Amino acid sequence: EAELIHMFKGIPFTTRSSPELLKSLDAFDAREDDVLLVSYPKSGTHWLAGVITKLYDTQVTITSPIEFGDISKLEELNNLSSKRIIPTHLDYNMLPPNFKNKKCKMIYISRNPKDTAVSMYHYYRDNPNLPTIDTWTAFFDLFLKGNVVCGSWFDHFLSWEEHEDDKNILFLFYEDMKKDLPTVVKKITLFLSLNVSEKDIQEICQKSSFSEMKSDTEKENSDPSHTVCALTSNRNLIFRKGAVGDWKNHFTPKQNRRFEEIFNEKMKLSKMAQGFIY
Ligand code: PPS
């Protein structure tokens, strides 16, 4: 089982991200019109990707996360015609520098870390490509220690929040999308300079509901190398519950206190994370 995970620059990656690929990312050739979809895992990546592809209609290609695959991945991306929509779970410091130099547009989506932890726990349990987890209690500890794929939620969030004022980065929250998707979608169209009618926005929002996305049979059993999550092609693993506040069904009061203690300590200086504790 140990072979499912390896460490790179202190962060756990699955073996689906080869060390050679990770080492070569620094040299990756970004294009000015690339759009990055950035997230810590289980924060709404597929949801955002679904909205974005519908906004662009057929004019774009969405890839699997840049850090998934072996060294041939880079060539594959090089050969892809524009416009490329590229997801990634990398923290800011590991992002290929060319994306930063070329001021590519990036959308960072985040989610209450308590719900993110619960979502990740179920994903670990149900996905044979991830290490075996015995209990929620065991996973809870691993999550707080950052001993899970992509490392610490706290470090990831903070590395991106440091760039809050960068004009080329848009910050979105899963909870806002749940509350009022059309408003978030309008924000995205402004950021990406897309001209989409009110009517089309309404339609895109309907088609992006949890139930619609879960039952999108067209995509069923598709090749995992062509889906946003390269760790599964099983849509039931990705589209599990899609709710805000499921942590309340998992956290004990004691776990909640411990989580908030650590959250308050680590996120002391964070402005953007304050809305998360509820
Ligand atoms: S991954 O594997 O890291 O790319 O996963 P990611 O897509 O980031 O996150 C999966 C969670 O997002 C929920 N989801 C949605 N919620 C609401 N509406 C829609 N349309 C939607 N699509 C995906 C999905 O159910 C996972 O959360 P949980 O809490 O596990 O259900």
Give the pair of three-digit tokens for residue 270: 């964070």
- How many angstroms is it from 240 CA to the middle of ligand 1? 7
The letter for the amino acid at 160 is: W
- Among protein residues, the one with the nearest Cα to ligand 1's atom 20 is 210
> pLDDT band for position 227 (50/70/90)?
low
d(CA 120, CA 114): 10
Q: What angle do CA 180, 219, 63 make, to 5 degrees?
A: 80
Tell me, rounded to whole angstroms, the distance of Cα 62 from its chain centroid.
14
At 219, the pLDDT band (50, 70, 90 cuts) reads low
Q: Check if 250 is active-site.
A: no
Q: What is the mean pLDDT of residues 133-161?
A: 97
Residue 277: alpha-carbon gap to chain centroid: 20
Whether residue 224 is predicted with pLDDT greater than 60 in this model: the reply is no
What is the percentage of the chain residues whose pLDDT exceeds 90? Answer: 86
User: Is 170 a residue whose pLDDT tops 50?
Assistant: yes
Residues in the chain: 278
For residue 103, how far is its CA from the centre of ligand 1 (angstroms)?
Answer: 28
Pairing state between β 5-8 and 105-110: unpaired
For 128-148, b where at least 16 C-beta lie within 10 A, e where not — what string?
ebbbebeebeebbebbbebeb
Q: Is 227's C-beta closer than 6 angstroms to any atom of ligand 1? A: no
pLDDT at 220 over 70: no
The answer on pLDDT for 223 being more than 70 is: no
Cα 142 to Cα 18, 121, 156, distances in angstroms: 23, 10, 15
- The candidate with the shortest Cα–Cα distance to 5, out of 187, 116, 157, 129, is 129
Which of 238, 246, 247, 248 is the best mutation target for the ligand 1 pocket, counting ligand atoms within 8 Å of the beta carbon and taking the most?
238
Phi, psi of 75, deg, nearest 5: -65, -40
CA of 10 to the centre of ligand 1 (A): 26
Cα 13–Cα 40–Cα 24 angle in degrees, nearest 5: 45
Q: Mean of the per-residue pLDDT values for the chain? A: 93
For the segment 53-77, the average pLDDT, to the nearest whole number, is 92
Output the pLDDT for position 229: 75
Position 1 scores a pLDDT of 52
Question: Does the pLDDT value for residue 222 go beyond 90?
Answer: no
Q: Ligand 1 centre and the CA of 211: distance in Å?
A: 11
Contact yes or no for 228/87 (Cβ under 8 A): yes
Cβ contacts of 144 within 8 Å, gap of 6 or more: 258, 259, 262
Question: pLDDT tens for residues 68-109?
Answer: 999 999 999 999 999 999 999 999 999 999 999 999 999 999
pLDDT of residue 2: 53
Give, rounded to a whole angstrom, the gap between the first and last alpha carbons of the chain: 36
Using CA positions, which residue lies closest to atom 27 of ligand 1?
Answer: 242
Q: How confident is the model at residue 230 (pLDDT cuts 50, 70, 90)?
A: confident
Residue nearest ligand 1's atom 16 by CA: 242
Exposure letters 179-202 (e unless 16+ CB within 10 A, then b) = eebeebbeebbebeeeebeeeebe
Is residue 124's pLDDT more than 90?
yes
The residue-averaged pLDDT of 166-173 equals 98
d(CA 31, CA 62): 14
Among residues 77, 73, 64, the alpha carbon closest in space to that of 23 is found at: 73
- pLDDT at residue 119 is higher than 50: yes
User: Of 6, 46, 89, 250, which residue is the catalytic one?
Assistant: 89
> Who contacts 101 (Cβ-Cβ below 8 Å, separation ≥6)?
30
Residues 153 and 146: beta-carbon distance below 8 Å? yes
Say whether pLDDT at 191 is over 50. yes
Q: Which atom of ligand 1 is nearest to the CA of 231?
A: 2
The amino acid sitting at 84 is: R
